[in-house]
């Protein structure tokens, strides 16, 4: 199994120099997040993830979760690791101090989440889902609901889930069958079954708080008739502790391709007591608070597993001896050269590096917008940040998971035949990553959300909010001595982005299928441009530091070389996505459905 080491140097490069979290925190009044505090958090978080979580990754995959008559037991060591995580204060790092949290910015919580996900993705699912539940209750719950649940969730005494989908409906939540019948005491009787519920049952804590979508008896049809309910596994007693068992049970756990140590459950609700959160029939609005949190977390899984794969691949490529370099022996004292000398291995490694470091920059850029949206006292700044988040969230989820899967596949390929063997650990990373493009709304759904709802649905406003940032950046750096050619390349694509969007919008006015036909290629096209902008931001900082004789020269030169690789080898993929978008929907829809029959 690859030995995980938190990439603190790259994290600090982004935090200290590219995005300057320190100035941002000062402007937002987050004075507790001092440079010394951030440094301590990074160091201690790395130690926990490297020394506690990473050693459980392979064993957790091999053991998996155990199911016995409704009881789920997590793999050996998971419960003890969760106790250490809670005791260390990691669970409430970015949570509201009013409920026992430390009140640090969301961006710091995401940095720790990256380390957790890279060291042990399955384990990270348990606290990860809880953070989403906390955000939904905090945003939409009553004062009583917040007092009842948030302190326990923040402390890690209880965990949370989100229960959306059902066996017959998948992503089409408008046709869910779970029902909520009002009771005289103001509670509701929740009846139905939910599937694919991550961390729906486990042994890590005293109670599990389910956030459940259901329909009231008089609910309108479709998504306008969905309400959201808090359904605890154990009902809180008068003292606020876990009391009487509620009518919710785990019917089974799934046998999966990957993330085997994360319990994916079928949950059955049999007249379970639930409490309405938010307004009746407005549950989807409330759930989106949680879903958007989960989508960012899922996008990060592409980065996390890609990082773990890269670390394994780079070590192997330096150690593995095979053939001689085409330009002559590089290690003549050895029977063969390390495979890192071969151009194709370099291609794979640089692709991994470019996506990982670009996706990390995207994560931190998005995290900075979260901070502004949550903490800024400037209403206009908050709205701009929220618009950027709305635009970037589907890109984060889909682009980062698709490229993360590409990265883990490259990592396995670098190992050759050994990559296919379990003991090396590379195939587990591929298996664990494969679910990420599927859940929290498949990447096809994310693409429809981006193009249909966010871009065309806002008449281009959300897209323009980002392209203006890129335009100003390109104008400010046009003719840059070392990077001016790449700036011009990005500027051209940024202008083309708007023109291409207009073409799709015009075609969609005549045929709505054009949106669905273009959406996935449009999202990937967009993602490549977003990463191009972020790679140039990193490269400009690296060049400034090199010119000033600051920083680690090899690290900074690596940034510049990887930026060059990205612009010459990866960003040109936009051309094929553009061609596919412009091909339209006819070549997809002209073949009759019956022609697909075997």
CA distance 46 to 278: 38
Alpha-carbon separation of residue 449 from 223, 387, 442, 522 (angstroms):
15, 14, 11, 11
Contact 41, 108 (CB under 8 A): yes
Any bridge partners for residue 264, and if so which? 198
Among 440, 550, 552, 582, the active-site one is: 440
CA distance 205 to 158: 6
Alpha-carbon separation of residue 270 from 24, 283, 402 (angstroms):
48, 20, 38
Q: What is the phi/psi pair of residue 49, to 5°? A: -70, -40
CA distance 90 to 136: 19
The secondary element (H helix, E strand) that includes residue 265 is strand 264-277
**β-pair type (227-232, 207-214):** antiparallel
The secondary element (H helix, E strand) that includes residue 373 is helix 343-375
Any bridge partners for residue 229, and if so which? 212, 276
CA distance 564 to 484: 12
List the one residue out of 272, 181, 290 whose CA is nearest residue 235.
Answer: 272
Examine the residue annotation and report whether 514 is marked as an active-site residue of this protein.
Answer: no
State whether residue 262 is helix, strand or coil.
coil
Q: Using CA of residue 226, residue 122, residue 434, residue 446, what is the dihedral sign? A: positive
Q: How many residues does the chain have?
A: 598
State whether residue 366 is helix, strand or coil.
helix
Angle at 333 between CA 330 and CA 336, to 5 degrees: 60
List the one residue out of 579, 301, 563, 525 whose CA is nearest residue 395.
Answer: 525
Radius of gyration, CA atoms only, the chain: 24
Helices (H), 49-180: 57-63, 78-87, 106-119, 121-140, 143-155
> What does DSSP assign to residue 202?
-
End-to-end CA distance of the chain: 42
List the one residue out of 62, 49, 58 whose CA is nearest residue 7.
Answer: 49
Cβ contacts of 567-573, under 8 Å, gap ≥ 24: 567/486, 567/489, 567/532, 567/535, 569/347, 569/350, 569/351, 570/351, 570/354, 570/355, 570/528, 571/489, 571/493, 571/528, 571/529, 571/531, 571/532, 573/524, 573/528
Could you give the residue numbers annotated as active site? Answer: 440
């Amino acid at each position: 199994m690859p030995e995980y080491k938190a990439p603190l140097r790259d994290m600090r490069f982004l935090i200290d120099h590219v995005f300057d979290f320190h100035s941002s925190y000062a402007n937002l009044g987050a004075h507790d997040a001092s440079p010394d505090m951030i440094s301590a958090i990074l160091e201690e978080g790395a130690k926990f993830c490297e020394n506690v979580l990473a050693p459980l990754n392979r064993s957790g995959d091999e053991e998996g979760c155990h199911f016995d008559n409704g009881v789920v037991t997590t793999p050996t060591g998971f419960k003890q690791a969760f106790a250490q995580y809670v005791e260390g204060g990691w669970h409430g790092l970015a949570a509201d101090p009013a409920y026992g949290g430390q009140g640090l910015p969301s961006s710091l919580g995401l940095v720790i989440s990256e380390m957790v996900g890279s060291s042990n993705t399955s384990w990270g699912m348990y606290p990860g889902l809880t953070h989403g539940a906390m955000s939904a209750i905090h945003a939409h719950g009553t004062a009583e609901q917040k007092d009842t649940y948030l302190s326990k969730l923040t402390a890690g005494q209880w965990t949370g889930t989100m229960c959306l989908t059902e066996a017959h409906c998948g992503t089409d939540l408008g046709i869910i069958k779970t029902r909520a019948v009002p009771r005289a005491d103001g509670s509701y009787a929740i009846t139905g079954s939910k599937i694919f519920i991550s961390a729906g049952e486990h042994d890590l804590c005293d109670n599990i708080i389910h956030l459940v979508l259901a329909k009231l008896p008089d609910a309108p049809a479709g998504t306008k008739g969905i309400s959201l309910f808090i359904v605890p596994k154990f009902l809180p007693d008068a003292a606020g502790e876990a009391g009487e068992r509620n009518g919710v049970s785990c019917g089974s756990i799934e046998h999966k391709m990957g993330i085997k140590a994360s319990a994916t459950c079928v949950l059955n609700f049999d007249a379970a007591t639930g409490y309405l959160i938010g307004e009746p029939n407005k549950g989807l609005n409330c759930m989106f608070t949680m879903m958007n949190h989960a989508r960012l977390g899922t996008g990060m899984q592409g980065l996390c597993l890609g990082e773990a794969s890269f670390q394994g691949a780079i070590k192997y490529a330096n150690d593995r001896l095979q053939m001689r370099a085409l330009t002559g022996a590089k290690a003549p004292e050895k029977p063969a050269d390390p495979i890192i000398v071969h151009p194709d291995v370099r291609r794979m490694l640089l692709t991994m590096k470019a996506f990982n470091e670009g996706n990390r920059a995207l994560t931190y850029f998005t995290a900075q917008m979260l901070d502004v949206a949550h903490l800024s006292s400037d209403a206009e700044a908050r709205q701009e940040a929220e618009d950027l988040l709305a635009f970037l969230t589907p890109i984060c989820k889909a682009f980062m998971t698709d490229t993360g899967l590409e990265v883990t596949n490259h990592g396995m390929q670098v190992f050759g035949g050994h990559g296919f063997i379990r003991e090396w650990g590379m195939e587990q990373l591929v298996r664990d990553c494969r679910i990420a493009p599927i859940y929290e709304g498949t990447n096809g759904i994310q693409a429809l959300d981006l193009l249909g709802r966010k871009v065309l649905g806002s008449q281009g406003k959300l897209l323009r909010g980002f392209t203006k940032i890129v335009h100003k950046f390109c104008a400010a750096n046009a003719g840059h001595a070392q990077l001016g050619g790449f700036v011009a390349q990005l500027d051209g694509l940024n202008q083309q982005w708007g023109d291409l969007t207009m073409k799709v919008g015009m075609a969609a006015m005549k045929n709505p299928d054009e949106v669905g036909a273009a959406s996935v290629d449009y999202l990937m096209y967009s993602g490549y441009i977003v990463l191009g902008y972020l790679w140039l931001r990193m490269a400009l900082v690296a060049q400034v530091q090199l010119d000033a004789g600051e920083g680690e020269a090899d690290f900074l030169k690596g940034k510049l070389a990887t930026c060059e690789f990205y612009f010459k080898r990866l960003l040109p993929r936009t051309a094929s996505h553009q061609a596919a978008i412009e091909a339209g929907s006819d070549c997809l829809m002209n073949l009759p459905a019956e022609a697909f029959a075997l």
